[in-house]
Structure 1
């Protein structure tokens, strides 16, 4: 049955008019949380989240921690719809126990992240940051960079983003390596000339290693001191997936020691562990690091698509129906 309460609270920035209009046309009251400049909902305390979510039936969330205690204080909250695809900050077991629905916005931003990944590869390989900094100082001497053309690219994670990166790489005529998972897709591999290898071979052979795996117990700190030591000294590490995949302190030491040539980073371990903020600061100050603030999915087009996917899931649940199957994580109803 349709929900009588159709109050939807949005704690994400850049929630566009088209998505707001869609919710309102579906009979929802849309409330956009006011956040301090430069802050995201992940910076809000438990008490602040409870205050903003009072009376909400739907919540469109970004990076806030969705805990059992929080959900227990919001008995009227029926659906938590994440504008994004990562869900490690949501207690899914608690959501099921407490009768909540949890969705992610699959298919909205993977093309944007794939674009961003290629941009980081090119920027760090061609030393754009170093060159522009020199030019600002009046030094127009040429720094020799490295091509992406016909290089070996190791792709860790062949989900939507990883596959989109592989498609974009075709024009560079690379050798593409990928980890051989439990059920490698032979059809995709044949179409896009992907060779499945083990982890050690991928690290040893790749000129660029790009991460697109989910953050799980098995992948946490996948790229640590040992993995970095197995990479070429001329190789670049690209991370547009999750900060927890990389031991940032080990990465900093590897870059200081010249064990790898550089890195392109959009995510950081300090996002989940503020004690590592100084490590992040040291990383982004290095001349051979191209850094962005977890903005790989944040193109105007990507945000608009993802907003709409998240909004459609909310409306489906408040109408008493089911959200798209690929978006549904938990249905505790």
Structure 2
């Protein structure tokens, strides 16, 4: 099979398109013929090994070289083979899911508990855009944020991969949603259901008069202290990520925000989809929202498999609206 292999840290130029053996599923795994994947910030952070401080922490970044050789954390495709202990899938099933790696290859082995049947009303490219980003939004709003009807929710970074899902999911829970984005995406986030839109090029939401019960921060451009100025006393501030740098960010931003927990009445939390144990249940929940028409992936650009390095370059610019999808193999 063909796959883009990451032999060392660096720019997209270090990715090598190679012919490698097809993986063999373990007893609790499923071999998926990958039809589509997507490119997201997690991919190029791992490709570059940044921020450098993360190489000293538990996770996918090795100190001198990557622990993961094939990037790609979201896939949609067709079951090719199942492991000996897998009973819920059979060859030919259309699935989508969130493997630890392998999306940048024609085949990937995925734990059965990280897969679910693909939403019937989505293409493979649309489905591949869902797992990590929509799962992060769901965990941040529902599990960490305790979202419920009538809650006043602000989503900072509402036009990005996580943010576009978060606006729709928050509205599905009948929350009052304020979306923060740039000028060119105001119409988009309104179309996704946002009740109020703040154009960050014209207004600083942390200086406004409105108060929020829940802030889902996908952008990280404001400090925890600044966000607390516009939160209710028992509000929740959930961090998804933030602007990265080579050395420390967004790790220091996340750490500093969470460190305030014992000192302030509001609660600080982080949406960690990678370490979440209920991936399949979350995917099934998302499938329900998608098939009923409540949630729809927003696709910025579609690339071919051979264009994955170029797709990463575009992602690194930080201007993508919604998701960047990749067709790996035609359906």
Structure 1 or 2: larger helix share? 1
TM-score norm. by structure 2 comes to 0.45
- Which TM-score applies when normalising by structure 1? 0.45
Q: More strand per residue: 1 or 2?
A: 2
The structure with the larger Rg is 1
